[in-house]
């Protein structure tokens, strides 16, 4: 019986407000043939490295690099805001970029700035006004589909149970959605998020933070165009302009390298 050779993976680990990601430098295409099962294994917190998702940096014909994002279930996902900020810091550490970049992602081209050695400001795509679902809930696409639910106290919500129910409601979004529970306190938004693809609560969600900030502004709960979001893993800031849609949307906050290493896949 022939023994298969191990596949050596050189990785870095980054986190943004507790949203954590495995980073792979794939500019030479060495990791292009990773399987869904292999990616899911690496993201597994018990048997692998552990992460909310995996991101590869790839060569781009027109921009500094191309970002590809995979959820922890191993399947390619849509745009990830905190992942986008972390991949910019990864590119900065690889010396692909200096303090500014333009890169390609699932939902199109993004600009970003390295504010300092642990913070990134990422420009998100323009988005349309939220749509009302019921008296406490809204739907919006901020690069990924989101449901925003306003509650009295996010810390008393069973996020796993209630989030899973809404996440699989295909009447709201055809392929399901991420679910954010929010309440306002001291002009800041407290948020907890159930993420599809992870199929669990995460410590933060970038596109979810953008969704929450826009819904808060759209409903006139806060008359601000720069809103702080308190996630379980840290604080993010969302700023934007509002006319016939939301534009000039920026997501800012911590993005840092936590460790690096090698893993062998059999």
- For the stretch 116-162, pLDDT in tens is 999 999 999 999 999 999 999 999 999 999 999 999 999 999 999 99
What percentage of the chain carries pLDDT values higher than 90?
93
Distance of alpha carbon 20 from alpha carbon 30, whole angstroms: 22
Statement: residue 169 has pLDDT above 90:
no
Q: Is 144 exposed, middle or buried (0-12, 13-18, 19+ CB in 10 A)?
A: buried
Around Cβ 189, how many Cβ atoms within 10 Å?
Answer: 26
Structure confidence at residue 171 (pLDDT):
80
One of 80, 127, 182, 215 is an active-site residue; which one?
A: 80
pTM for the structure as a whole:
0.94
Give me the numbers of helices (H) and strands (E) for the chain, helices first please: 4, 17
pLDDT mean over 225-229: 97
pLDDT in tens, 235-256: 999 999 999 999 999 999 999 9
Query: Where is average pLDDT lowest: 77-86, 164-173, 202-211?
Result: 164-173
Pick the CATH number of 7-123+255-265 from 1.10.10.60, 1.10.10.10, 3.40.50.300, 3.10.310.10: 3.10.310.10
* Contact (CB, 8 A) for 71 and 198: yes
Give the N- to C-terminal CA distance of the chain in Å, as an integer.
Answer: 15
Q: How high does pLDDT run on average in the chain?
A: 95
* Close Cβ partners of 218 (under 8 Å, ≥ 6 residues apart): 129, 130, 138, 242
**Same fold yes or no, 7-123+255-265 and 131-251:** yes
Structure confidence at residue 5 (pLDDT):
54
Distance of alpha carbon 69 from alpha carbon 80, whole angstroms: 7
Nearest partner of 60 among 95, 122, 102, judged by Cα? 102
pLDDT mean over 62-81: 96
Structure confidence at residue 168 (pLDDT):
86
pLDDT mean over 44-70: 97
Statement: residue 4 has pLDDT above 50:
no
Q: Where are the domains of the chain?
A: 7-123+255-265, 131-251
Structure confidence at residue 199 (pLDDT):
95
Pick the CATH number of 131-251 from 3.10.310.10, 3.40.50.300, 3.30.210.10, 2.60.40.10: 3.10.310.10
One of 43, 86, 182, 205 is an active-site residue; which one?
A: 205
Let me know if 215 is a catalytic residue: no
Let me know if 43 is a catalytic residue: no
């Amino acid at each position: 019986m022939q023994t298969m050779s191990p596949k050596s993976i050189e990785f870095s680990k980054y986190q943004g407000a507790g949203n954590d990601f495995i980073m792979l430098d794939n500019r030479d295409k060495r990791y292009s043939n990773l399987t869904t099962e292999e990616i899911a294994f690496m993201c597994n917190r018990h048997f692998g490295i552990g992460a909310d998702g995996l991101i590869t940096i790839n060569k781009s014909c027109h921009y500094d690099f191309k970002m590809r994002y995979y959820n922890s279930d191993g399947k390619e996902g849509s745009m990830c805001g905190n992942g986008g900020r972390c991949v910019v810091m990864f590119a900065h550490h690889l010396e692909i970029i200096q303090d500014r970049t333009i890169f390609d992602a699932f939902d199109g081209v993004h600009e970003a700035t390295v504010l300092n050695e642990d913070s990134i400001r990422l420009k998100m795509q323009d988005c349309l006004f939220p749509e009302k679902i019921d008296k406490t809930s809204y739907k919006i696409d901020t690069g990924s589909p989101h449901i925003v639910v306003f509650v009295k106290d996010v810390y008393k919500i069973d996020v796993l149970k209630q989030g899973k129910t809404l996440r699989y409601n295909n009447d709201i979004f055809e392929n399901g959605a991420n679910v954010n529970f929010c309440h306002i306190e001291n002009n800041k938004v407290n948020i907890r998020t159930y993420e599809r693809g992870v199929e669990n609560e995460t410590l933060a969600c970038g596109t979810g933070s953008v969704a929450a900030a826009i819904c808060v502004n759209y409903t006139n709960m806060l008359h601000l165009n720069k809103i702080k979001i308190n996630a379980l893993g840290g604080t993010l800031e969302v700023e934007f302009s509002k006319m016939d849609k939301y534009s000039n949307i920026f997501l800012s906050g911590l993005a840092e390298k936590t460790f690096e290493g090698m893993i062998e896949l059999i």
